[in-house]
Amino acid sequence: MFFYIFIIAISILMSVYTLKSNNVRNQSSKYKLVLLIVISAIILFRIIRYGSAMGLNVDEAMGGYNSWCLANYGVDSHLMKAPVYLIAWGSGMNVLYPAISIPFVKLFGLNLLSYRFPMVFFSILSMFTLYNALMKNIHRPKLNLLFIVILFLNPWMIMANRWSLESNLFPIVMIFALSAFLMFVGQKSFKKSTIWFVIFNICVGLSAYAYSNNWIFLAVFVSVLFILLYKKKKINLKEFLVGVVTLLIIIWPLILFVYVNYIGHHTLHILGLTIPELWASRSSSQLIFGNGTPIVQAILQNFLGNINMIANGDGMVWNSLPVIGLMFPGMFIVAMIGLVISINKLKKNSLFNLFMIVSVISSIPLLLFVIPDANHMNALILPIFYFETLGLERILNTKFLQKSALVIFVMMMMWFSYGYFGQNAQALSNSGTITSLKLKKLFDKANKSGKEIYFIDDQNGGMFSIARFWEPISPYVFNRVKSNDPKQAEMNYQYYGKWHFYQNTDSSMQNLKHSFFIVLANDQSIDLNNLPSNAHKLGDFGAYVVYEN
């Protein structure tokens, strides 16, 4: 309850501040009413049942446990002190989101409400920040409001903001970066302009800790944007160097991280930070190289695959709902119209528009070389919905079309709500890498039994991370009692302490005594005859059946 009250209280304060600002105060009462409705909708679509409408994802569980370890023991799950990148599964995990979650996990314990809270809260805060920056520096109130609606009330952003996959923090950090950029652009004072430019670079630097997959994007983005700003005389050589130095101060640990993992191959400890060597690289599962397909053919197929994914969704229910996709149907075409408009606007010397064009140019390597996945392409969120905004503004040029579009939009949001909270509720509760929240009570019961616990599920890998999330254990104890499995990119420990994880039963289980069995129900491949003859059924818990002897 605290988290909901806190979000609502801060939102009310921010709404009052926004309405009293000079740029909004002078708008019509109708405009202010629409603004309040939009703000309320953005908040509600993020906070309603954010801790229960979707089950626990294995990556969430991994990030949450590492955050809990850092909060309570000062080390991550692999006993690394102040790591600049988490080893996590073996192939690594971005550290920024688990790091900013530390105070909430420390104060309120490890649970979905506390661990998802920063994602929900900062997404809402970024909305207020961006809108106020737009109103202060882009004097087109209706277009500004339309951009906020399109950016924050689309399926891609809503779904990404409601759960705590650590890479989903990247577009939120970039929204803060854009807000600082707009403030920098609008300043006439050299001192204030420099301050906002430094803040912009701090945000960009921090975004590198949010998602390593976007490092190529950031390298191109910063290089191209700095050069263009210098050529347009928006920054001088001194400011150029200040920006570079600011970025280097923020990202030097990540530069060392690249050195450690591609050249040095040994963990470094420097200035109290740990620069870890990962056990394996995840590049084979994220990049097109090395799959045997001729490179030109692979690039073309990958590019078309990414375009199709953005237009229609990636087929993963936690990222995009069936039929609805990442963007509402037809909106990708509108965004492409907006892209053409944006390119034509380059002649008008709008630095806001330039920011978006540079963003989409910087995303080209991702489209060409990174395997289609909504999370892999989240650097495109800002530009793609900016282009959609421009496209809609051009198309909706009569009152009739605007009113018709409003009706269609409301119907789309109702369709999305039904799809998310109703039609696909079961899939969002327990499917793929998502596990049922009923496991919380089940794991509590199993843990209190004092018996050996056997979890049997052939559909989900990494279930040890789920157990550690719901029943956290000291990382020092975990590393002492875990199975000694070979190091690999995606570790799946066979056991730690009294917890055992199997994809199926085997005959050796028939001799087990004083054991607790959690078995995936309705799975014909799991042979229940291998359970001890005296194991009796305790009951059904969602997708699982429990036996005990």
Cα–Cα nearest to 92, from 258, 323, 252: 258
- Using CA atoms, how far apart are residues 113 and 120, in angstroms rounded to an integer? 10
Q: Say what the pLDDT of residue 462 is.
A: 84
Q: Report whether 91 contacts 280 (CB < 8 A).
A: yes
Which positions of the chain have pLDDT values less than 50?
none
Spatial distance between the Cα atoms of 435 and 467, rounded to a whole number of angstroms: 11
CA-CA distances (angstroms) from residue 363 to 38, 249, 443? Answer: 29, 25, 43
**What does the pLDDT read at residue 460?**
60
User: What's the pLDDT at 459?
Assistant: 62
Q: For the segment 465-477, what is each residue's pLDDT rounded down to a tens digit?
A: 999 999 999 999 9
If one counts every other C-beta atom within 10 angstroms of the C-beta of residue 194, the result is: 18
Cα torsion for 477, 483, 486, 488, to the nearest 10°? -60
Residue in this structure with the two tokens 């963007």, named with its chain if needed:
327
Cα 226 from Cα 235, distance rounded (Å): 8
Give kind and range of the element (H or E) at residue 113. helix 112-137
Check if the beta carbon of residue 456 is closer than 8 Å to that of residue 500: no
The structure tokens listed for 503 are: 């994809």
Position 520 scores a pLDDT of 86
Nearest C-alpha neighbor of 157 from the set 124, 190, 113: 124
The CA-atom distances, in angstroms, between 408 and each of 165, 187, 403, 415 are 31, 39, 9, 10
Q: What is the radius of gyration, based on Cα positions, of the chain? A: 25
Q: How far is CA 416 from the centre of its chain?
A: 19
Task: Count CB atoms within 10 A of the CB of residue 17.
Answer: 12
**Cα distances (Å, whole numbers) of residue 498 to 62, 131, 467, 493, 537:** 19, 52, 11, 12, 20
> Cα(485)–Cα(297) distance, rounded to whole angstroms?
38
Per-residue confidence (pLDDT) for residue 1, from 0 to 100: 83
The strand pairing partners of 548, in sequence order, are 516, 536
Neighbours of 511 (CB within 10 A): 7
Residues in a beta bridge with 547: 517, 537
Q: Residue 91 carries which DSSP code?
A: T
Cα–Cα distance measured from residue 237 to residue 334, given in angstroms and rounded to the nearest whole number: 39
Contacts of 427 (CB under 8 A, 6+ apart): 317, 434
End-to-end CA distance of the chain: 39
69-85: b (≥16 Cβ within 10 Å) or e: bbbbeebbbbbbebbbb
Instruction: Provide the pLDDT for residue 542.
Output: 76
Chain centroid to CA 396 = 32
Q: Which helix (H) or strand (E) holds 343?
A: helix 331-345
Determine the Cα–Cα distance for residues 531 and 504; give it in Å rounded to an integer.
11
Q: Tokens 């030097």 label which residue?
A: 252
Domain ranges of the chain: 2-423, 437-548
Using CA atoms, how far residue 296 sits from 226, 284, 288, 310, 378, in Å, is 31, 17, 11, 21, 24
Q: How far is CA 468 from CA 4, 18, 434, 437, in A?
A: 26, 42, 15, 14
Cβ partners under 8 Å of residue 224, min gap 6 = 358, 361, 362
CA distance 224 to 204: 14
Count other C-beta atoms under 10 Å from residue 488's C-beta. 12
